[in-house]
Amino acid sequence: MKKLLTSVSIALLLTLPLTTMATPQQDLEAFQDYYQERFPGTPFDDFINGVYSIDPASREQWEEIEEFPPYELSISRGQELFNKPFANGKTYASCFASGGIGIRQNYPYFDTTRGEVITLELSINECREANGEKPLKWNKGPIADISAYMAYTSRGNVFDIKIPDDPRAIAAYERGKKHFYQKRGQLNMACADCHKFYAGNMVRADLLSPALGHLSHFPVYRSKWGGMGTTHRRYGGCNKQVRAKPYKSQSAEYRALEYFHTYMSNGLAVNGPGARK
Partner 1 sequence: MAIKIRAKAKDGVTTVKTLMSHPMETGLRKNSKTGEKIPANHITEVTAAHNGNVIMTANWGGAISKNPYLSFKFKGAAAGDKITITWVDNMGQGDSAEAAIK
Q: Which residues are catalytic?
A: 238
70 binds partner 1 (CB under 8 A): yes
Residue 41 or 226 having the CB closest to partner 1? 226
For the purposes of burial, counting CB atoms within 10 Å of the CB of 132, is it exposed (0-12), middle (13-18) or buried (19 or more)? exposed
User: Strand 202-203 vs strand 206-207: parallel, antiparallel, or unpaired?
Assistant: antiparallel
Pattern of binders to partner 1 over 217-246, x per CB under 8 A? ---------xx-------------------
Residue 171 or 275 having the CB closest to partner 1? 275
- 3-class SS of residue 237: helix
142 binds partner 1 (CB under 8 A): no
83 binds partner 1 (CB under 8 A): no
Stretch near partner 1 under the rule CB under 8 A, chosen from 24-32, 71-79, 92-100, 138-146: 71-79
Stretch near partner 1 under the rule CB under 8 A, chosen from 65-73, 162-170, 186-194, 260-268: 65-73
- 3-class SS of residue 274: strand
73 binds partner 1 (CB under 8 A): yes
CB of 226 to partner 1, least distance (A): 5
CB of 69 to partner 1, least distance (A): 9
Residue 73 or 81 having the CB closest to partner 1? 73
Considering only 72, 111, 133, 193, the residue that binds partner 1 (CB under 8 A) is 72
Residue 101 is classified by DSSP as: S
What's the distance, Cα to Cα, between the start and end of the chain in Å? 42
Closest CA to 120 of 73, 169, 161, 170: 161
* Neighbouring-strand partners of residue 276: 222
Quote the strand ranges of the chain, DSSP E. 109-111, 116-118, 202-203, 206-207, 220-222, 227-229, 274-276
Q: CA torsion sign, 48 to 51 to 56 to 60?
A: negative
Stretch near partner 1 under the rule CB under 8 A, chosen from 12-20, 69-77, 171-179, 257-265: 69-77
68 binds partner 1 (CB under 8 A): yes
Length of the chain in residues, anyone?
277
Interaction site with partner 1 (CB under 8 A): 67-68, 70, 72-73, 76, 226-227
